[in-house]
């Protein structure tokens, strides 16, 4: 394929161009074959592009969009009331074939609504699902849905499981183990939707369904794909991020509590840095909207430069693997 082009909503998130533009510049230095399109209010974006060489500017384009979708805005307002928002224009570039993927740290509800309206879902998929890679004892696990769909039917959970399995396989996991997140592993546990979804998955050919999994099993690496509704998934993800931050803070406090503790801390520093790198949310930032006829990656709104680059890396990986097309081919068979 031609050089990948990723469109970025430069006005999204808590920091906007102040953080997103430097992250994009650093990312281009890491991937020499890539092109990025910064979408947003051109004068604000250009303020952060001074000093770039002509060669760098050839790979970093600015596409003006006059409006901004705020973080507290209703999706309906973003959909109907802001036709020239940076978020919408970035998605239109994907729809029109001028970019291969879109990355935004903006309003999640608005991004989902605009993505469904502009890019449409793949045949057989009712709702897109948000998925991300969560660190586990054995590597990582694909967790979905993360908040795009708070209320889900058994059929939706089944579709999420199929999409998660295909995505995990496309991204390098052979015959991924698929599980439903539940309050227990016994067949009698769970609500009606989960039980019905389990029945559908037990009958599905081509999906390596292993049954129910509890929250601790997710982090022990007992499954490669874990499926739940967006209400549960979002709480689980945010709780995990909070726990990781608390553990890091408590360790730092502990190692600064006395001179002997500081000495131990200095000896353990290389291991602690590695652990922090494995667990920090910014390293795993970037949730994909699976089920769309295009690639959309949602960055955490509070992500800084490292987190934005992680979301860009996720988008680039999906572009390389042509994930929507691979999903389409497999979903036709499985659904």
Q: Do 144 and 263 fall within a single domain?
A: yes
Residue 270 and residue 332 share a domain:
no
Distances (CA, A) of 215 to 141, 144, 154, 220, 230: 12, 13, 20, 9, 15
Q: Which residues, other chains included, contact 316 with Cβ-Cβ below 8 Å and sequence gap of 6+?
A: 4, 6, 31, 34, 101
* Calpha distance 199→211 (Å, rounded): 10
| Beta bridge mates, 36 | 6, 60
Token look-up 């002509």 returns: 54
In this predicted model, what pLDDT tens digit does every residue of 156-172 receive, in sequence order? Answer: 999 999 999 999 988 88
Would you state the pLDDT for residue 282? 53
Residue 161: name the closest of 187, 146, 179, 149 by CA: 179
Same domain (yes/no): 137, 276: yes
At residue 283's C-alpha, the angle toward residues 277 and 284, to 5°, is 130
Q: Please give the DSSP secondary-structure letter assigned to residue 85.
A: B
Identify the CA nearest to 61 among candidates 90, 81, 30, 84. 90
Same domain, yes or no, for 201 and 313? no
- What is the per-residue pLDDT for 276? 61
Domain identity same for 86 and 178: no
Domain boundary among 282, 299, 316: 282
Predicted pLDDT of residue 8: 97
d(CA 238, CA 254): 24
Q: Where are the beta strands (DSSP E) in 201-331?
A: 208-213, 225-227, 287-290, 295-298
**Looking at the structure, do residues 56 and 171 belong to the same domain, yes or no?**
no
Beta strands in the chain (DSSP E): 5-9, 35-40, 60-64, 101-104, 129-136, 139-144, 177-181, 208-213, 225-227, 287-290, 295-298
User: What 3-state class would DSSP assign to 203?
Assistant: helix
Name the helix (H) or strand (E) containing 169.
helix 154-170
Q: What is the pLDDT along the chain (335 residues), one digit of tens a residue?
A: 578 999 999 999 999 999 999 999 999 989 988 999 999 999 999 998 887 878 778 899 999 999 999 999 999 999 999 999 999 999 999 999 999 999 999 999 999 999 999 999 999 898 899 999 888 888 889 999 998 888 899 999 999 999 999 999 888 889 999 999 999 989 888 889 999 999 999 988 889 999 999 999 999 999 999 999 999 998 998 888 788 778 778 877 887 888 887 787 777 777 666 666 655 555 668 899 999 999 999 998 888 999 999 999 999 999 999 999 988 888 777 76
Chosen domain end from 265, 282, 299: 282
Chain center to CA of 208: 23
Query: Cα 200 to chain center, whole Å?
Result: 26
| Same domain membership, residue 63 and residue 17 | yes
Sheet holding 101-104, edge to edge: 60-64, 35-40, 5-9, 101-104, 295-298, 287-290, 129-136, 139-144, 225-227, 177-181, 208-213
Q: Quick one: 182 and 112 in the same domain? A: no
Q: Are residues 135 and 251 in the same domain?
A: yes
| Count: domains in the chain | 2
SS3 205: coil
Residues 185 and 164 in one domain: yes
Residues 138 and 269 in one domain: yes
Residue range of the domain that includes 303: 1-125+291-335
**Contact yes or no for 110/73 (Cβ under 8 A):** yes
Q: Check whether residue 270 and residue 311 sit in a common domain.
A: no
Q: Give the DSSP per-residue string, 279-291.
A: H-GGGG--EEEET
Contact 310, 286 (CB under 8 A): yes
Look up the CATH number of the domain holding residue 329: 3.40.718.10
Instruction: Mention every residue, 6+ apart, whose C-beta is less than 8 A from residue 6.
Output: 34, 35, 36, 37, 99, 100, 101, 102, 103, 312, 315, 316, 319
Structure confidence at residue 244 (pLDDT): 77
pTM of the model: 0.88
């Amino acid at each position: 394929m031609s050089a990948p082009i990723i469109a970025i909503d430069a006005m999204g998130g808590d920091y906007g161009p102040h953080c997103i533009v430097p992250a994009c510049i650093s990312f281009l230095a890491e991937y020499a074959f890539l092109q990025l399109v910064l979408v947003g209010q051109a004068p604000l974006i250009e303020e952060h592009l001074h000093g770039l060489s002509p060669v760098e500017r050839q790979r970093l384009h600015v596409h003006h969009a006059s409006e901004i979708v705020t973080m507290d805005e209703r999706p309906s307002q973003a959909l109907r009331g802001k036709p020239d928002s940076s978020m919408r224009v970035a998605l239109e570039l994907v729809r029109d074939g001028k970019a291969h993927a879109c990355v935004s740290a903006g309003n999640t509800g608005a991004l989902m609504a605009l993505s469904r309206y502009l890019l449409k879902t793949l045949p057989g998929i009712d709702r897109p699902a948000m998925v991300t890679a969560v660190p586990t004892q054995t590597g990582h696990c694909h967790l979905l849905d993360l908040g795009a769909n708070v209320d889900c039917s058994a059929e939706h959970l089944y579709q999420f499981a199929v999409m998660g399995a295909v995505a995990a396989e496309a991204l390098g996991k052979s015959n991924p183990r698929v599980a439903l997140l539940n309050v227990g592993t016994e067949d009698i546990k769970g609500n009606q939707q989960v039980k019905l979804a389990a029945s559908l998955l037990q009958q599905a050919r081509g999906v390596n369904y292993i049954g129910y999994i509890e929250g601790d099993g997710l982090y022990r690496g007992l499954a490669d794909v874990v499926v739940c509704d967006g209400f549960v998934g979002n709480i689980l993800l945010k709780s995990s991020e909070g726990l990781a931050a608390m553990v890091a803070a408590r360790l730092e406090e502990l190692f600064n509590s006395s001179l002997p503790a500081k000495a131990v801390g200095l000896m353990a520093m290389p291991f602690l840095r590695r652990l922090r790198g494995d667990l920090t949310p910014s390293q795993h930032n970037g949730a994909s909207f699976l089920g769309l006829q295009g690639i959309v990656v949602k960055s955490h709104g509070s992500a800084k430069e490292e987190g934005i680059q992680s979301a860009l890396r996720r988008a680039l990986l999906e572009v390389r693997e042509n994930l929507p097309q691979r999903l389409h081919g497999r979903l036709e068979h499985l659904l």
